[in-house]
Amino acid sequence: MKLIVVFSVFLSMSAFAQDYERVDAIISMYPNTFDNPERLSKFIARDFTSEEDKVRAIYTWIIQ
């Protein structure tokens, strides 16, 4: 019984995992620098609609 519960918890966690490959691929095509932060924000607003994707985009751009 414990094994079933542990397995169910593991599956539910992976079901809610996010797939950021698309966001990361788009951000990898952005320039490494921008003249000002507003230009970066316009790129992100153009390419992403969800707040979660926008946050991931900012994070990915910063760590590149």
- Res 9: pLDDT: 61
- Res 8: pLDDT: 63
What's the domain count of the chain? Answer: 1
| Residue span of the structural domain in which 29 resides | 19-63
Q: Is residue 10 included in any domain, yes or no?
A: no
- Res 18: pLDDT: 74
DSSP class per residue in the chain: -HHHHHHHHHHHHHHT----HHHHHHHHTS-S--SSHHHHHHHHHHH--SHHHHHHHHHHHHH-
pLDDT tens for each residue of 30-63 = 999 999 999 999 999 999 999 999 999 999 999 9
What's the pLDDT band for 7 if we cut at 50, 70, 90?
low
Q: How confident is the model over 13-33, as a mean pLDDT?
A: 86
Q: Is residue 8 included in any domain, yes or no?
A: no
